[in-house]
Amino acid sequence: MNNPLLEPFDSAPFSKIKNTHYLPAIKELIEVTKREIDAITHSSDAPTFQNTVEALEYTGLQLDRVTSIFFNLNSAETSEKIQKIAQEVSPLLSEFKNDLLLNETLFKRVKTVYDLRDTFVLNPEQQMLLEKQYRGFARNGANLSEKDKESLRKIDTELSKLKLTFGENVLAETNLFEMLVTSKKELAGLPDGAKEAAAQTAKERGKEGWLFTLDYPSYIPFMKYSENRKLRKKISLAFGSKSFHDDKLDNKKNVLEIVKLRHQRAQLLGYRSHAHFVLEERMAETPQKVESFLNELLEKAKPAAQKEFDELEEFAKELDGIDRLQKWDGAYYAEKLKQKRFDLDDEKLKPYFKLENVIDGVFGVAKKLYGIDFKEIHDIDTYHPDVKTFRVTDSEDELVAIFYADFHPRPGKRGGAWMTSYKPQQIKDGINDRPHVSIVCNFTKPTSSKPSLLTFNEVTTLFHEFGHALHGMLANTTYKGLSGTSVYWDFVELPSQILENWCYEKETLELFATHYKTGELIPMELVEKIKDSSTFHEGMQTLRQLSFGILDMAWHGSDPSEIKNVKSFEKKAFAETQLYPDVEENCMSTSFSHIFQGGYSAGYYSYKWAEVLDADAFAYFKKEGIFNKKVADKFKNYILSQGGTQDPMELYIKFRGQKPNPDALLKRAGLLKQ
């Protein structure tokens, strides 16, 4: 069979790929990679850095590219066929990974190089690669007995299947829910854009009226603006109870199985818990440090959050006689209070944030900071007509990266927003292979009368994901395993979160925030209001983020084998951060994809951890000027281009000249007096 995935390619050949190509290609490339590894293990030469560690780093390049294409599509453009293939492919890859990490002969060679490391002349990046490889083997079972290795293989195979099933169930539940409104009266309070989008969705699905879904661009405006409390409750309950219905899409059993298997795996490898295993390779280092970090922030945020909640409840009572604020009331009354307090309405801002203009804006920021240009191109294959492609070049017109952007919801696309890669950056045989990087979002689609207009929150989301993309695009390391976002998980959010800060600055907004009809620049009083309102309900927002981090650590920080009931366990974990009355029908864990499907298990705290870094780093930009070339060059040279080549704290200190100061975050959040 002529299989495009087995041919050499630069950009992903999407239009040539059929679903039937994936499984044969992945099976074949696993065998190819095994032969590459055999060549290393069967070498009669004494192990050196070059013939063992570096040679291993360069194995499986095509396999990595093909699997990244496949799993990226399983997130951004999936189907029942792709999901079925994923269930076949995942165990194969899990088994292959274990074959590699449990290969005694290979580990002996790597260990020999590691033990003799002081006799080799290695630069810091080579030292880091050696350290990472050696730890990868040691931490993943290379020293286990044959019996324990077999147990590890079984656990990993089972986990790979469970995580996929978890994600498939959440996506299916999201796609299943539809709320059809047939009476115009029941749309009271909703902005025209939300009504028009709902009418378009209904029409697309062959229905009369206005159709609302659990996709963010549909769900969030409804929760924020709908005056119909009964319907707000209905859609809120659906959103909060995804995969919690005791049916075939239920995830309760999957959650319990995943956490138990992760714990068994950690114990097998000699760790007290999954969190102890994970955090050994994080800036935070231990569960105790994470818990004290979360508790310290909780102590500072909780009084502010309680005060904000009490004010909001009082406001709802005065306005509509609501005695007890429920979860489906929060966004609605918060938006009303925000409008009253700051005379700022998200809907009044949206005309200034046409998607195409915001894209130009984020490109403009990247040019001013890092001297790179983006040019849309149409000769690169994409997996969907919505996907835009760009050639990224430096001041010498040299290629920096290929950039893909996919902005709107579809039934085959999971919710949320993320950055990913189709080709890694590396230097091999003297050639600097430039990366192919993608961001995927779920923003409001254009309608027949309006372009895609973003809420301010969506603007910050775009900047956030683009910050991750810059980390990938500006990577400049020798080894792909240390390139771009291949850094400690609690460091990876620094480039994304710091870029959000530019959204609040007048100098940035002047680059792109013009009215989509009149071309008028956003009025400066609106810019001031955006800044003034940036810490609105920061206490409640912080508490919400902390609650997710605490829940994650509760699941992964101790032995879960006695947990019988997902909901009651979650309720207990949320006790310290709870403001709203508990909703019995809801359960977050059953759709908490970050920790049960993605890579954030025992790592959700990293959003807050990185906020400390980003607030401190942006304070430096603010002091010197947000487009200061010297500071931008330091950020590019020490953070964005270095990937995981050095310890993240060392890189941060090289950029900043000091360790991060947590007070910067608390000041920015208004939780500490300036």
CB 429 within 8 A of CB 393: no
Judged against a pLDDT cut of 70, whether residue 673 lies above it is answered with no
The tens digit of pLDDT for each residue in 440-458 reads 999 989 988 999 999 999 9
For 342, residues 6+ apart whose C-beta sits below 8 A from its C-beta are 529, 532, 533, 536
Catalytic residue among 465, 500, 538, 611: 465
As a whole number of angstroms, the distance between CA 658 and CA 664 comes to: 13
H or E stretch covering 438: strand 436-440
Write the DSSP symbol of residue 663.
Answer: H
Judged against a pLDDT cut of 80, whether residue 1 lies above it is answered with no
Judged against a pLDDT cut of 80, whether residue 674 lies above it is answered with no
Mean pLDDT on 30-41: 98
In the predicted model, what is the mean pLDDT of the chain?
96
Q: Which CATH class is domain 359-536?
A: mainly alpha
Judged against a pLDDT cut of 80, whether residue 672 lies above it is answered with no
Token pair listed for 630: 């010297």
Count of CB atoms situated within 10 Å of the CB of 228: 19
Say what the pLDDT of residue 125 is: 97
Q: What share of the chain has pLDDT > 70, as a percent? A: 100
CB 149 within 8 A of CB 102: yes
Mean pLDDT on 298-321: 96
Q: Taking the domains of the chain in order of start, what are their residue ranges?
A: 4-143, 162-175+252-303+538-674, 177-240, 359-536
Helix (H, G, I), strand (E, B) or coil at 51: helix
Q: Which CATH class is domain 4-143?
A: mainly alpha
Task: Based on the residue annotation, tell me whether 465 is a catalytic residue of this protein.
Answer: yes
The tens digit of pLDDT for each residue in 95-118 reads 999 999 999 999 999 999 999 999
Say what the pLDDT of residue 281 is: 93
Per-residue HEC secondary structure of 192-258 comes to HHHHHHHHHHHHHCCCCCEEECCCHHHHHHHHHHCCCHHHHHHHHHHHHCCCCCCCCCCCHHHHHHH
For 388, residues 6+ apart whose C-beta sits below 8 A from its C-beta are 376, 382, 404, 405, 406, 407
The tens digit of pLDDT for each residue in 183-222 reads 999 999 999 999 999 999 999 999 999 999 999 999 999 9
Say what the pLDDT of residue 227 is: 98
Say what the pLDDT of residue 346 is: 85
pLDDT band for 666, please (50, 70, 90 cuts): confident
Q: What share of the chain has pLDDT > 90, as a percent? A: 95
Helix (H, G, I), strand (E, B) or coil at 419: strand
As a whole number of angstroms, the distance between CA 631 and CA 635 comes to: 6
pLDDT band for 577, please (50, 70, 90 cuts): very high
The tens digit of pLDDT for each residue in 408-436 reads 999 999 989 999 999 999 999 999 999 99
CB 144 within 8 A of CB 153: no
- For the packed helices 19-41 and 80-101, what is the interaxial angle rounded to 10 degrees? 0
As a whole number of angstroms, the distance between CA 419 and CA 68 comes to: 12
The tens digit of pLDDT for each residue in 127-140 reads 999 999 999 999 99
Same fold, 162-175+252-303+538-674 and 359-536: yes
Say what the pLDDT of residue 669 is: 85
Say what the pLDDT of residue 51 is: 97
As a whole number of angstroms, the distance between CA 283 and CA 292 comes to: 14
The tens digit of pLDDT for each residue in 502-552 reads 999 999 999 999 999 999 999 989 999 998 999 999 999 999 999 999 999
The tens digit of pLDDT for each residue in 375-394 reads 999 999 999 999 999 999 99
Q: Which CATH class is domain 162-175+252-303+538-674?
A: mainly alpha
The tens digit of pLDDT for each residue in 629-660 reads 999 999 999 999 999 999 999 999 999 999 99
Say what the pLDDT of residue 562 is: 95
Q: Specify burial of residue 599 (Cβ count, 10 A radius: 0-12, 13-18, 19+).
A: exposed
